[in-house]
């Protein structure tokens, strides 16, 4: 079955048509995972491509991401035993002492749009809180945001805390935020760094080898 | 006719009419009354509840409009900042604009190599010294988030001490919490010669921020209350940038930012009626392609022009604003264009305390060259708003008569009227180049970046900052060592 109408609706951010199309596909007996992968995520790949070329603006991209989320809500009950396969589980948060969250929220939306599932711990997140959540959720990736040079050291402390609790090898760490640099990421032993939300998606895909 | 009897109109920008101003103000009050705010500081929450606020969900509280109106009335109309030698250099009242640098950038452009690198304490020292030597830059901020401090918890104390050592101009400072602001206050008292002297002639102002949307963390309120009690002037803008921290439409972003500011003002005045509070949110815009909060956009200039109108129509309190900054990564034509746009509009709106002059890369990078350029652009803008005095001298009919009568070779350039008036009548640039092509070429074909680099270097090597008393310096160093 072709998902073209669904694809177009997600790309346009037409929530009504997109959710109707999703339901139609389900009713026609399509596999929920296929609708997700070949319809919704595929549409978001197109959107991401347009955005990185500067062909569309942030609010248009976020509208598509929101459209996708609404469709996922429609799909959820149709996965066998709730076994929706995402591209990976990402724990995200702004580090301790830091209250900036606009960039982190944007990164979260983009990652979700690309098919990752996101657990957002909010702002001012202490290392042990990250560690506990990663353990509990069996996360694949940890994403940390810092907008202050004074809170960047907390990223390093969190990576140490991961090592101390024996979890470091189970999770990839990606960091970002205006004062953060690739070099800093290397220095503190993070696996990756991204300067903006668009490249955060590409980096996360690379980390989990899911392009 | 007596010369000077015609009042001179001074060019002035108007952005809002009275009804627009009132409507934004009313919307801000409605936000406080209906939406409410999240006050995470217990003492402040109790104070607000005691004064008539209604707590509705743990630490969310709604505030009646009269609390804001009362606070606006009790806050002082003038905030006068003094320099560290005790002169009243920044009387912020009504229409007086003062330009200065900005705070925490991550990187700076190295003066020798031009390379963008992490800021260190010596940069904060250099920026302060440069400010001291530039006539149109009235106050200093740290301009960097230094990498090389011994205790990161006290980064703002080190930065403050560095500024005190390198300038005598007023200082706008950042602090993180009760502990470090108390240390900064101690240093300020050492400089001023005691608590009373500092209260009498404050040379510093704290820049704190609430968290848009509508969130007031405990450590921010601790600072606000500390300043209110000590009489240290403070501003509390929030990050109500259009599209990111606030609604994308400028009226809505302003209403929200003003509401947040009013919360700060209310608590501040409940703690200490009459304590000095500099009004105004930061209403910039989130760029819809890069998702960067812009420091070079026309929106920020427009909203602060609007705020200046609201000051005149409603608040009567001096306002906080920005200028002389850019999103460009280098000191180029974009940097110059954006810097001038905000400098001239802030001047035309008569904003009062105008920070961030010298910022590049949306506030991530600072540049000594940019500050030096801003100094010249401010001079240009100041010249512009003086307007055109119209009187017997400036109409100069007698000069015309003389030149006409003096024969065919006569020209104005050699008339006495020119000699006597040219320095007031014309703008005389120092850094902007108007030389003939050949002499410009002979002088090395230098662009503005190169010339401002040389000028910054010259000031840093030649300018003498009036030194502080050795005893005071030693006490400051002892305080730093004991951190
Ligand atoms: C808005 C803002 C605020 C708002 C934040 C509101 C909110 N809810 O987030 C408020 C007003 C609260 C605020 C407060 C402060 N701020 Co502030 N703030 C900014 C500002 C103007 C924009 C930040 C922003 O939202 N950008 C938009 C988003 C979309 O971009 P972004 O955050 O950079 O995120 C992108 C990338 O960095 C990346 N990314 C981000 N996170 C992550 C995570 C991962 C995993 C990945 C891969 C990528 C990634 O992708 C994002 C999307 O593209 C910046 C200056 C600037 N222009 O950047 C200063 C700035 C960050 N703030 C600064 C400072 C100093 C402060 C204060 C200390 C000021 C004070 N006097 O109190 C306080 C600190 C509060 C605290 N404890 O956290 C400094 C930091 C300097 C430094 N090197 O430390 C800056 C640079 C301004 C400056 N030059 O002075 N601030």
Q: What does B159-198 look like in DSSP terms, one character per residue?
A: HHHHHHHH--S-EEE---SHHHHHHHHHHHHHHHTSHHHH
Q: Do A196 and B145 touch (CB under 8 A)?
A: no
Residues of chain A with pLDDT under 70: 1, 81-82, 210-211
- The residue assigned the tokens 């990185």 is A52
Instruction: Please tell me the predicted confidence (pLDDT) of residue A101.
Output: 93
Atom of ligand 1 nearest to the CA of A199: 47
Cα torsion for B128, B129, B130, B134, to the nearest 10°? 100
Mutation target to probe the B interface, by most B beta carbons within 10 A, among A98, A102, A110, A154 is: A102
For residue B111, count CB atoms less than 10 angstroms from its CB and return exposed for 0-12, middle for 13-18, buried for 19 or more.
middle
Q: Do B291 and A178 touch (CB under 8 A)?
A: no
Instruction: Please tell me the predicted confidence (pLDDT) of residue B94.
Output: 72
Q: Where are the domains of chain B?
A: 75-248+272-385, 392-425
Instruction: Please tell me the predicted confidence (pLDDT) of residue A81.
Output: 66
ipTM of model: 0.88
Q: Does B249 touch chain A (CB under 8 A)?
A: no
Instruction: Please tell me the predicted confidence (pLDDT) of residue B474.
Output: 96
- Asked if residue B251 lies in contact with residue B291, where contact means CB atoms within 8 angstroms, the answer is no
User: B 353-382 residues with CB below 8 A of A?
Assistant: 364
Return all residues near A128 (Cβ < 8 A) that are at least 6 apart.
Answer: A161
Instruction: Please tell me the predicted confidence (pLDDT) of residue A60.
Output: 93
Confidence tier at B339 by pLDDT (50, 70, 90): very high
How far, in Å, CA of A58 to CA of A79, rounded? Answer: 31
Q: Check pLDDT > 70 for residue B2.
A: no
Q: Where are the domains of chain A?
A: 4-78, 89-210
Confidence tier at B1 by pLDDT (50, 70, 90): very low
Instruction: Please tell me the predicted confidence (pLDDT) of residue A97.
Output: 93
Residue pLDDT, tens place only, B71-110:
999 999 999 999 999 999 999 987 789 999 999 999 999 9
Instruction: Please tell me the predicted confidence (pLDDT) of residue A85.
Output: 76
How far, in Å, CA of B58 to CA of A11, rounded? Answer: 41
Q: Is the CB of A47 under 6 A from ligand 1?
A: no
Instruction: Please tell me the predicted confidence (pLDDT) of residue B408.
Output: 81
> Which top CATH class is B75-248+272-385?
alpha beta
Sheet holding A172-176, edge to edge: A117-120, A89-94, A141-145, A172-176, A192-193
Q: Which residues of B touch A150 (CB under 8 A)?
A: 145, 152, 155, 176
Running DSSP on this structure, what letter comes out for residue B279?
A: B
Residue pLDDT, tens place only, B378-426:
999 999 999 999 999 999 999 999 999 988 888 899 899 999 999 999 9
Q: Do A103 and B291 touch (CB under 8 A)?
A: yes
Residue B239, classed as helix, strand or coil, is: coil
- Asked if residue B365 lies in contact with residue B109, where contact means CB atoms within 8 angstroms, the answer is yes
What mean pLDDT value characterizes chain B?
A: 95
How far, in Å, CA of B281 to CA of B57, rounded? Answer: 26
Q: Do B145 and A150 touch (CB under 8 A)?
A: yes
What mean pLDDT value characterizes chain A?
A: 92
How far, in Å, CA of B177 to CA of B173, rounded? Answer: 13
How far, in Å, CA of B2 to CA of A157, rounded? Answer: 75
Instruction: Please tell me the predicted confidence (pLDDT) of residue A77.
Output: 86
Residue pLDDT, tens place only, B421-476:
999 999 999 999 999 999 999 999 999 999 999 999 999 999 999 999 999 999 99
Name the CATH topology of A89-210.
Rossmann fold (3.40.50)
Reported in sequence order, the residue ranges of chain A that DSSP labels E, i.e. its strands, are 89-94, 117-120, 141-145, 172-176, 192-193
Q: Does B245 touch chain A (CB under 8 A)?
A: yes
Q: Check pLDDT > 70 for residue B365.
A: yes
For the full predicted model, state whether its pTM sits above 0.80. yes
How far, in Å, CA of B79 to CA of B235, rounded? Answer: 11
Q: For residue B276, which of B77, B68, B141 has the smallest C-alpha distance?
A: B77
Q: Which residues of B touch A153 (CB under 8 A)?
A: 152
Running DSSP on this structure, what letter comes out for residue B363?
A: G
Q: Does B217 touch chain A (CB under 8 A)?
A: yes
Torsion sign across C-alpha atoms B30, B36, B41, B42: positive
Confidence tier at B212 by pLDDT (50, 70, 90): confident
Ligand 1 atom 79: residue of nearest CA: B104
The domain over range A4-78 is classified in CATH as 1.20.120.1760: no
Nearest chain A residue to B239, by CA: A100
Whole-number percent of chain A with pLDDT over 70: 98
Residue pLDDT, tens place only, B309-334:
999 999 999 999 999 999 999 999 99
Nearest chain B residue to A52, by CA: B289
- Asked if residue B123 lies in contact with residue B144, where contact means CB atoms within 8 angstroms, the answer is yes
Mean pLDDT of the B188-213 span: 95
Residue pLDDT, tens place only, B260-281:
999 999 999 999 999 999 998 9
Whole-number percent of chain B with pLDDT over 70: 99
Q: Is the CB of B206 under 6 A from ligand 1?
A: no
């Amino acid at each position: 079955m072709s998902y073209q109408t669904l694809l177009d609706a997600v790309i346009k951010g037409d929530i009504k048509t997109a959710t109707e199309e999703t339901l139609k596909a389900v009713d026609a007996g399509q596999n929920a995972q296929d609708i997700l992968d070949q319809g919704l995520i595929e549409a978001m790949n197109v959107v991401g491509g347009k955005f990185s070329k500067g062909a569309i603006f942030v609010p248009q991209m976020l509208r598509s991401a929101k459209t996708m989320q609404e469709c996922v809500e429609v799909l959820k009950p149709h996965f066998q035993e709730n076994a929706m396969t995402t591209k990976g589980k990402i724990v995200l948060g702004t580090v301790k002492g830091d209250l900036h969250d606009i960039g982190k929220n944007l990164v979260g939306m983009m990652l979700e749009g690309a098919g990752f599932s996101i657990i957002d711990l909010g702002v001012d997140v202490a290392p042990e809180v990250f560690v506990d959540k990663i353990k509990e959720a069996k996360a694949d990736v940890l994403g940390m945001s810092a907008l202050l040079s004074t809170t960047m050291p907390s990223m390093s402390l969190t990576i140490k805390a991961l090592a101390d609790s024996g979890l470091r090898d189970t999770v990839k760490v990606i960091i970002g935020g205006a004062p953060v640099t690739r070099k800093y990421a290397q220095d503190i032993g993070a696996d990756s760094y991204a300067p903006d939300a668009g490249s955060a998606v590409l980096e996360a895909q690379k980390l989990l080898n899911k392009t | 006719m007596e010369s000077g009897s015609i009042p001179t109109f001074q060019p002035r920008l108007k952005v809002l009419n009275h009804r627009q101003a009132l409507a934004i103000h009313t919307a801000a009050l409605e936000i406080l009354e209906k939406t409410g705010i999240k006050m995470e500081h217990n003492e402040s929450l109790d104070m607000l509840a005691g004064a008539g606020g209604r707590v509705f969900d743990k630490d969310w509280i709604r505030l009646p409009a009269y609390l804001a109106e009362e606070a606006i009335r009790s806050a002082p109309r003038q905030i006068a900042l003094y320099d560290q030698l005790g002169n009243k250099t920044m009387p912020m009242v009504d229409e007086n604009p003062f330009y200065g640098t900005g705070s925490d950038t991550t990187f700076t452009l190295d003066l020798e190599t031009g390379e963008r690198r992490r800021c260190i304490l010596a940069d904060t020292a250099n920026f302060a010294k440069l400010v001291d030597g530039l006539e149109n830059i009235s106050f200093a901020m740290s301009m960097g988030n230094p990498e090389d401090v011994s205790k990161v918890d006290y980064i703002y104390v080190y930065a403050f001490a560095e500024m005190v050592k390198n300038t005598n101009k007023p200082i706008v400072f950042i602090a993180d919490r009760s502990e470090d602001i108390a240390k900064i206050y101690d240093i300020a008292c050492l400089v001023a010669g005691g608590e009373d002297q500092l209260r009498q002639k404050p040379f510093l102002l704290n820049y704190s921020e609430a968290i848009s949307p509508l969130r007031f963390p405990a450590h921010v309120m601790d600072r606000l209350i500390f300043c209110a009690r000590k009489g240290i002037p403070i501003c509390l803008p929030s990050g109500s940038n259009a599209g990111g921290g606030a609604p994308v439409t400028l009226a809505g972003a302003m209403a929200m930012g003003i509401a947040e500011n009013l919360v700060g003002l209310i608590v501040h005045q409940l703690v200490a009626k009459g304590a000095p509070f500099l009004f105004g949110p930061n209403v910039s815009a989130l760029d819809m392609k890069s998702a960067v909060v812009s420091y070079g956009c026309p929106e920020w200039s427009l909203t602060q022009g609007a705020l200046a109108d609201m000051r005149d129509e409603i608040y009567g309190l001096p306002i906080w604003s920005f200028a002389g900054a850019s999103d460009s990564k280098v000191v180029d034509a974009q940097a110059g264009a954006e810097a001038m746009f905000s400098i001239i509009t802030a001047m035309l709106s008569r904003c009062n305390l105008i920070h961030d002059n010298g910022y590049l890369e949306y506030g991530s990078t600072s540049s000594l060259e940019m500050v030096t350029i801003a100094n010249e652009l401010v001079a240009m803008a100041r010249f512009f708003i003086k307007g055109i005095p119209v009187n017997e001298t400036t109409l100069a009919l007698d000069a015309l008569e003389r030149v006409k009568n003096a024969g065919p070779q006569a020209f104005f350039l050699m008339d006495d009227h020119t000699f006597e008036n040219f320095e007031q009548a014309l703008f005389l640039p120092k850094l902007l180049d108007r030389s003939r092509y050949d002499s410009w070429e002979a002088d090395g074909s230098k662009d503005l970046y190169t010339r401002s680099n040389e000028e910054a270097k010259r000031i840093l090597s030649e300018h003498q900052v009036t030194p502080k008393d050795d005893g005071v310096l030693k006490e400051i160093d002892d305080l730093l060592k004991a951190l």
